[in-house]
Structure formats: structure tokens, C-alpha cells
Amino acid sequence: MWAQTIETSKVLPSTIHKVSKIFQPINIIPKAGHVKTALTSKSQRLMLDLGIIRQASPGSFHFLPLGVRALEKLTLLVDKQMSKIGAQKVIFPSLTNSNLWKSTGRLQDFGAELFTLKDRHDHIYVLSPTHEEAVADLIASVSQMSYKEFPLKLYQTTNKYRDEIKPRFGLMRGRQFIMKDLYSFDVDIEKAKETYAEVCECYNSIFNEIGVDYIKVVGSCGAMGGSLSHEYHYKADIGEDKIVSCSRCGFNANAELAGYDKCSQCGASDSITVHAGIEVGHTFLLGDKYSKALNANYLTEKGKSVPLQMGSYGLGITRILAAAIEFLAKENEIRWPISFAPYTLIIIPPKKGSKEEEVGSYLVQRVHSALESIDSLKDNMLLDDRIQMTIGRRMVDARRVGYPYVIVIGAKSMEKNPIFELHNLTNDQVLYLNEEGLLVYLRKHLEMNK
Amino acid sequence: MWAQTIETSKVLPSTIHKVSKIFQPINIIPKAGHVKTALTSKSQRLMLDLGIIRQASPGSFHFLPLGVRALEKLTLLVDKQMSKIGAQKVIFPSLTNSNLWKSTGRLQDFGAELFTLKDRHDHIYVLSPTHEEAVADLIASVSQMSYKEFPLKLYQTTNKYRDEIKPRFGLMRGRQFIMKDLYSFDVDIEKAKETYAEVCECYNSIFNEIGVDYIKVVGSCGAMGGSLSHEYHYKADIGEDKIVSCSRCGFNANAELAGYDKCSQCGASDSITVHAGIEVGHTFLLGDKYSKALNANYLTEKGKSVPLQMGSYGLGITRILAAAIEFLAKENEIRWPISFAPYTLIIIPPKKGSKEEEVGSYLVQRVHSALESIDSLKDNMLLDDRIQMTIGRRMVDARRVGYPYVIVIGAKSMEKNPIFELHNLTNDQVLYLNEEGLLVYLRKHLEMNK
């Protein structure tokens, strides 16, 4: 929106964020000579068109300010849930020694999908897509870890890298992406299963808090190894996974694992439906594949050194962002889950020169400070201060970017008890409310989304 | 501290963070076969010994939970200051196309210090140490940017990479490090100088808020190019820069630029002192070196396309962390600036089985909830729940990790009006205070540090 001429009224409140100040190059075709982006999904097109992201090279994107806000909200939501299960935040380096990957056989298994580089001493490093090797090596480096020190859960939210043969769907299959990866360590398989169940429960809470419908399915362990695996999917036509659901017993599985003909749980064949899904989370009970290969051991009560039982749990942070938009957006308008919309609410004041202009400026201040009493709106409201533009034109923009709530200060604001127009884009409602009514409605709806 | 046997009393408050739950492998020599770290600085030794970081490969470190807390606090402090000058947060990909670096001549200038890799299509990418090329290319890709849209300030806080010939001093000269890099764009050199001055002012505020003594000096533009440059230094014997200061006129400069013989500002030669400094921030007025090479232009009022004037401003986030410790720490005890200590305060309750044990558990709850009324202590207090250990032993640990405030619940807690022992490690004071006294003292001292 930023790429427009601005005239800002001086009486607008200074603490509210302003549309005119946001770097958000909209609908601008890259100049000749610059990367032309192949559009392969709705979310990619909308996020590029509306200045949320911008392509840097194939499968690699700049996050612009609105995109960063959404990412940081999602990251914080995940952090809070992680701390509830006692998971501790760490940061592993992106570059991991290729010898670690040789030890587990994954240098070969991943093959051309790994980005590798040589340092000036000709040592080879992997630009890591995941960190099972790194974390197992970290634990192995700590000597004499006692059985009393487990379970241990370490996680990070960092950039991951994968040399995709064909990057596509924007953030959904990129070459650089942000992943939250959690690793658990337990003393035996029973305890490891308990931890696995606890983390799955936490993932359910995360996906519920995000608020986009998801399906949890039995997944395949694939190249990761291990004995048990679940996947979390968002439904979308462009999804690369096929999910098989049985309406009789409620069983869901990845078709890779279950096949299409009959339900592998209840045996029924007339109750199977298949839909496309985007994998946004994946959990693995790994066993000792990595701990054995890299000597991540602990000391038993009797002083015996035994390999730890590991779990690995991924959440595709940038992928959740894109997949949520893919699932929620209209053809030409983004819709965000309220949990990580860049701003929860935008206020559109009257046009410059209109008869409502003066009272409008005053009402912006009043409404803004009244709404700040709602915790989740603090630092979370935007003002469309481009008052040289009509309300209608700015409403079009607000709908396209998809701020969940839009407050218009229009003709009815001149009344003695001023009436505001509230658009709830999530359920397509328009309401006419006075200040008290706005507060009651928004408090109720935002508390509901907690 | 975590690597110890734990017995936790059941009546301890559940919301306070507990030492026994922190992954902090202390003083543990890596097992045979694991990376042996060459210790080259006090901060590196202390951060490794006390489980703040752990080496992964030469010049590359894992951040353990206490280290991550410090990093996140520092990042947040910088974010708040950035938003005060209207700088907007973005994320640029780590991998940048090597062609961009060719265009500016820096592929050659940086030479072997750049990590580069080939993707599966044989395209060469740089694992970026800095992003002048990336941001100039981003701006160049947006067509028809009008003069009205400037100044523009974009920044990120991300990992940077540099193939150091000899990584050393732990986090201070690593191969992977976290940097906050800000880039500014202006329509002419006068406006660019105004922006430069504004950002320098902001950097002063950041360093003042961090609270470690710093020196701002005139710096050399070096390989970065441009016409004006300043550096921010922390004093330290291991510092690789030499700072020349004139006590007569107050002029400070990097010796690279100023020489050692006489002051380049007032000409005096008898008032020069030289000290070693660690560069923790650097600002550059770049001019149009990058915008010209990469066509980052704007349209003037008359519709003419003209190169933008750029500035570039770096803050070494991981380096600030290490350099602050280098400057503040005692030989065997870390000292943190209060602004980013992993926890501001630790409470040490009585030993298990002591006559104070019962009243101690109750007092922990009371003190903890009383102190939560101080904003900056919320979610920022730690409880040393390893009550099988003596108070003295836990005090030694608290001093080594260097939590700024330590509250001991000891013998005097049995009195009718219980007295607590408060250790202020920053000024080496011990005070005996009742609950009210604690609150008054801490509120005063923590407000002071705002």
C-alpha cells in the first residue's frame, strides 16, 4: 500500500501503525531483467501481489514487513506451546560437518537434495535441512549423562535448506524455509512413546490455536527411519500428499502407507474418501538409529552406557503460513487465521476534504485508545492513513490483504452517538455498532479465538 | 547446573523457571573424538564451561537455552529501538546469487572469505556475510519507486557466514554469526546524511540501553566503500582493533585510519592514548556504489530515474554477547549486563532437611509472587531447586553463571519478619532486607536500568 502518494492528517494518533509507512510493494511486475516468478499456487500469487513476500531466486524469498509480522506471531505461538511441555529452545548451526551425515548414511540417502559446500580447508559441510545428526552429536559430546537427566526436549526455529529439483508453490516447496524442529531423548522405548504422545498432544494444541482445520494422519517413516510417525495436513487442491480417510472408523492415513482400496483399520472399502493434503507437521519416533550411529548414550543406574531413544518433530513454519492462506483465501483476497494475521484490525478514516474528516480524526483516536484495552489488539491495529483515497478504494485494499477486522469511519460517524461500520472478513459479516458495541463484539470474538 | 541429581520439593511454585530443568552441561570436557576447542578468550572459556554455548565445528557454535535467552533479549531490545526510527523488519535469504556479487566487484574483493556453493543446476550462490547486494537488487526489482517513498529503512537480524581463515575468540570471530543489518535508501546525499545521523543516534541509544561502556570512533570504509563510517567498540585486551583517543579534544578513531603519532582533529601529540577494542557495531554512508551497480533507482518529481543513496549499518548480535562478557566478567565468573542476562534474578531456598526448609518453601512462593509485580522480573526469575545441595554450593554456581541478583533464603528467614540476603553481583553488594525492602531496592535498581 506503501507505493502510493501519502498525505497524512496531523491529528492522527502517533502510536498506531500506519499503512503509509509499510514497505509493501503491491501488484508491481518486476522490471525487465529481474527474476520472473512462475506462479504455481494461489497463496504464492497473492503473497507476491500484495507485498508479503518477494522472490529472490528460485525457491527463495524475501520476507517483507507484513510477512515478518505473521512469521513472528506464529513463532511466538509455537514457543509458548513448546514451553508448556518443557521443551527448551536452542540454536544449532546451519552448517554441519558432512562426516556426521556419513555416519548415519544420510549423506547418500539425501543425495542431490543436500546443499553442500567446501570450506577453505577443503572440509565439506552440509547446509542442513534437518538436525538429527547435529543434536545427537551434541548429546554425544556431553560425557556421563545420567538417566536422571531425561526426558530431554530441545528445539529450534531456524532456516533449513534443501536443493529441491523443482521449487514450487512459493513458500510451500522452497529451497530455504523456516522449520521448527524438536528432538526428544529418553532412556527406553516406553518412555520415548510417552514423550511422543505428549508432543503429539502439544502439536494438536498448536494446530487448534492456529485455528485452521487440519487432519492428523498415520504417516510413513520414509528416509527418516524409526517405528511410528504421524503427519499433520491442511487440505488444498495443490497438496502433494493424498490422504485416505475412512468415515466408518475415523482412521486417516497417508495413501503412501495405506493404499486406496480399503481401510487398514476397520477393513471397510465402501467408506473411503481421498483428498489432497499439504503436510505442515510431521512427528517421528526414531528409536536409536541416530543415537547408535553417533554414540548419544546415557549411563543407567548401574553405570552401563546405553543408546538413547530419540524422537523428531517438525513444524513447517513458512509452509504453515502459505498453506493457511492457500486454504482460507478467496481467489483475489487473502484471508489469514486471526492467530497470525500481520495486523488483527485496520481502521479506515474518512477521506480528506469530506464533511466527516474532522470528526473522523477525533474518532480514530477515541476508537483506537478504547480498543487498546483489549490485550490482543495492543500493537496489533493498523490505520489506513492514505486519506487522499476514497473509503471504497481503501476498503478494496483492506479486503485484498485480508485484515480480519475492518472498522470504517463513514457517514454515520456524524451522529450524536457515532456509529462505526465493522467488517468481519472471516465470516463476511458487516455490523453497525457504536463504540461500546465495537468493544463488546471484538472482545467476545477475540477471546473466543484464544 | 542441570547435570546434577535433582530432588525438588513439591510445594515450590510451578510458574517460576527451575535450574534443574535447564539443559546446561557444565564444566564437562568433551568426550574423546569430539571437537576439542582451542580456548582463545575469557568469554569463550566461560561460555563453554558454563553451558551457554557449545562448539559444533571450528568457529561455529550451538546456542544452549541460557544463550538463546540472552540472544532473544538483545534482539528484542534492538527491535524496539529500530521501530523508534521507523526501520522495518524483513528477512533476506542467506543464499544470494553470485551474479549480484560479481556486479559490485565483491565476489573478488571478499575472495576466500566467502562461502559459496553450487546448486544442482551448477548455479553459484554465496552464503551471505552481508546483504548490500540483496537489498539493492530487491529495491531495483520494484519498478517506479517514487521520490515520495523515501527515506526507506529495512533491517533484519539473521545468521551471517564468513569463511574465516582462523576462527577465534569463540563467538567474536566465528564462521557463522548473528548480525543485525540495516540498509537505508534516500533520494540525495543530504537526505542520506540526515538518515545516517538518525541511525547513529539510534545506535547510541542501543548501546546505552545495553549498558556496557562503549566508544564510538571514526572508522575506515575499507572494502565496503562509501564516504563516511563510524565504529562502536567495547574495550578488551583481546580486541583486534586499536583505538586512538585524544584526551585534549575528545576525538576517537580507528588507528588504521588515524595513525598513532598525533591527533588528526586537534593536531596534539602529547594527549594520545591507544587501547584495544572489539568492534561491535559499524555504520557506513555508502553513496551510490551498490545502487548504481544494481540499478536501485527512484523516479524524481520530473520523472527522471536516478540512483538511490544508501547507508549500511551493522550490529554484531552474537559478538555483543561475547564482548560484553569479555569486558564485564571476572576470571572465573560471568557478569552480564542486566539488559540481556538470561535471567535477572535467582532465588536460592534452604537445603533439604535443614530447619529452614519448610518456611523456605513458603517464602519462595511469597517472594516470587511479590517480585512479579516488577514488570522486568516477570518470566525473568529462576529458582535453584537443587535443594539437596548446600546454599553455599549453589551460591558458587549462581556467581559463576552471573545472574545479576541472587536472593538467598537462609537462617534469618526464620525470624518473625523474615530477612532475605540479596546479592547484587554487579556492584558486589550484599544486603539484608525484608520483603518490602527487597521490593523497594529491586524496583529502584531495575527502573534505573531502563
Among the partner residues A57, A117, A161, nearest to B115 by beta-carbon distance: A117
Q: Is the pLDDT of residue B8 over 80?
A: no
Nearest-CA neighbor of A124 among A159, A94, A99? Answer: A99
- Residue B431 Cα, gap to closest chain A Cα (Å): 33
How far is the alpha carbon of B271 from chain A, nearest alpha carbon, in Å? 44
> Each residue of A125-148: b (16+ CB within 10 Å) or e?
bbbbbbbbbbbbbbbbbbbebebe
Lowest-pLDDT range of A306-320, A352-366, B1-15, B25-39: B1-15
DSSP B128-178: -S--HHHHHHHHHHS---BGGG-SEEEEEEEEEE---SS-BTGGGB-SEEE
Under 8 Å between Cβ of B420 and B413: yes
CA–CA separation, A14 vs B59, rounded Å? 44
Q: B415-430, pLDDT tens digit by residue?
A: 899 999 999 999 999 9
Contact across the interface for A159 and B154, Cβ inside 8 Å: no
Q: Which residues in chain B are contacts of A91 at CB distance < 8 A?
A: 62-63, 67-68, 71
Mutate: best of A95, A125, A137, partner B, most B CBs <10 A: A95
Distance CA A297, CA A290 (A): 11
Mean pLDDT of B10-34: 73
pLDDT tens digits for A107-122? 999 999 999 999 999 9
B291-349 pLDDT per residue, tens: 999 999 999 999 999 999 999 999 999 999 999 999 999 999 999 999 999 999 999 99
What is the least distance, in Å, from the CA of A157 to any CA of chain B? Answer: 11
3-state SS, residue B123: coil
pLDDT for residue B2 is more than 90: no
* Residue count of chain A: 450
User: Does the pLDDT value for residue A15 go beyond 80?
Assistant: no
CA pair distance B368, B365, nearest whole angstrom: 5
Type of residue found at B146: S
- Can you give the pTM of this predicted structure? 0.94
- The answer to whether B6 contacts A148, with C-beta atoms less than 8 Å apart, is yes
User: Under an 8 A CB cutoff, do B56 and A31 touch?
Assistant: no
Q: Which residues of A242-280 are buried (b: 16+ CB within 10 A; e: fewer)?
A: ebbbbeeeebbbbbebbeeebbeeeeeeeebeebebbbb
Where exactly are the structural domains of chain B?
Answer: 69-210+218-229+274-327, 343-448
Give yes or no for residue A131 having a pLDDT over 80: yes
Answer yes or no: are the C-beta atoms of B408 and B369 closer than 8 Å: no
Element counts in chain A: helices (H) and strands (E) = 12, 22
3-state secondary structure of A328: helix
Query: Which residues in chain B are closer than 8 Å to A68, comparing Cβ atoms?
Result: 89-91
* Among A291, A294, A293, CA closest to A308: A291
Count, residues in chain B: 450
Structure confidence at residue A18 as a pLDDT band (50, 70, 90): very high
> Residue A127: which H helix or E strand, with range?
strand A124-127
Render the burial of B86-108: b for 16+ CB within 10 Å, e for the rest: ebbbbbbbbbbbbebbebbebbe
Find chain A residues with C-beta within 8 A of B25's C-beta: 142, 145
- Helices H / strands E in chain B, number of each: 12, 22
- Please, which pLDDT band fits residue A236 given cuts at 50, 70 and 90? confident
Q: Specify the fold of B69-210+218-229+274-327.
A: BirA Bifunctional Protein; domain 2 (3.30.930)
Query: Residue B32 pLDDT > 70, yes or no?
Result: no
> Does the structural domain A69-327 have CATH classification 3.30.930.10?
yes
Task: Decide which of 3.40.30.10, 3.40.50.2300, 3.40.50.800, 1.10.3720.10 is the CATH code for A343-448.
Answer: 3.40.50.800
The reply to whether residue A57 touches residue B125, judged by beta carbons under 8 angstroms, is yes
- Chain A residues inside the 8 Å CB shell of B134: 56, 62
Angle at B436 between CA B430 and CA B439, to 5 degrees: 65
Question: Reduced to 3 states, what is the DSSP secondary structure of residue A35?
Answer: coil
- The CA-based angle B293-A177-A163, given to 5 degrees, is 80
Q: Collapsing DSSP states into helix, strand and coil, what is residue A406?
A: strand
Rounded distance, CA B201 to CA B306, Å? 28
Look at A56 and B134 and tell me if their CB atoms are within 8 Å: yes
Instruction: Report the 10 Å Cβ neighbour count for B153.
Output: 22
Chain A positions in Cβ-Cβ contact with residue B175 (cut-off 8 Å): 95, 119
Contact B140 A92 (CB under 8 A): no
Q: What is the pLDDT of residues A245-254, one digit of tens each?
A: 898 888 898 9
Closest CA to A198 of A290, A285, A297: A285
Instruction: Round to whole Å and give the CA distance between A303 and B57.
Output: 30
The region of weakest confidence among A277-286, A408-417, B12-21 is B12-21
Measured between CB atoms, which of B62, B142, B144 is closest to A90? B62
Confidence of residue B450 (pLDDT cuts 50, 70, 90): low
* B349 vs A223, higher pLDDT: B349
Query: What is the percentage of chain B residues whose pLDDT exceeds 90?
Result: 79
Residues in chain A within 8 Å Cβ distance of B112: 120
Residue in A68, A97, A143, A298 to test binding to B, most B beta-carbons within 10 Å: A143
Q: How far is it, in rounded angstroms, from Cα A402 to Cα A425?
A: 7
Of B28, B148, B154, Cβ closest to residue A143: B28
| CA-based nearest distance A63→chain B, Å | 5
Size of interface A-B (CB pairs under 8 A): 178
Give ipTM to 2 decimals.
Answer: 0.94
How far CA A392 is from CA of A24, A88, A405, A438, B28, in Å, comes to: 20, 48, 16, 21, 66
**Which pLDDT band, with edges at 50, 70 and 90, does B26 fall under?**
confident
Give the whole-angstrom CA distance, residue A334 versus residue A351: 25
Instruction: Supply the pLDDT for residue B143.
Output: 77
Rounded to 10°, the helix A317-328/A42-49 angle is 100
> Quick check: A90 and B23 CB within 8 A?
yes
What would the pLDDT profile of A255-286 be if each residue is shown by its tens digit? Answer: 888 777 888 788 888 888 999 999 999 999 99
Considering only CB atoms, A141 lies closest to which of B31, B125, B163, namely B31
Q: What residues of chain A lie within 8 A of the CB of B90, using their CB?
A: 23, 62-65, 68
Neighboring chain A residues of B35 at a CB cutoff of 8 Å: 141
The fraction of chain A above a pLDDT of 70, given in percent, is 93
Chain A residues whose beta carbon lies within 8 Å of the beta carbon of residue B91: 62-63, 67-68, 71
Residue in B57, B95, B148 nearest the CB of A60: B95
Q: How many CB atoms lie within 10 A of CB B27?
A: 10
Compute the distance between CA of residue A446 and CA of residue A139 in angstroms, rounded to an integer.
42
Give residue B238's pLDDT band: very low, low, confident or very high (50, 70, 90).
Answer: confident
* Nearest residue, CB atoms, B91 vs list A31, A63, A141: A63
Residue in chain B closest to A298 (alpha carbons) equals: B3
Check residue B7 and give its pLDDT. Answer: 41
pLDDT at A11 over 60: no
CA distance B173 to B42: 14
Give me the residue from A62, A148, A163 closest to B120, CB to CB: A163
- State the pLDDT at residue B10: 44
Q: Residue A68: is its pLDDT beyond 70?
A: yes
Instruction: Find the CB nearest B91 among A62, A137, A165.
Output: A62
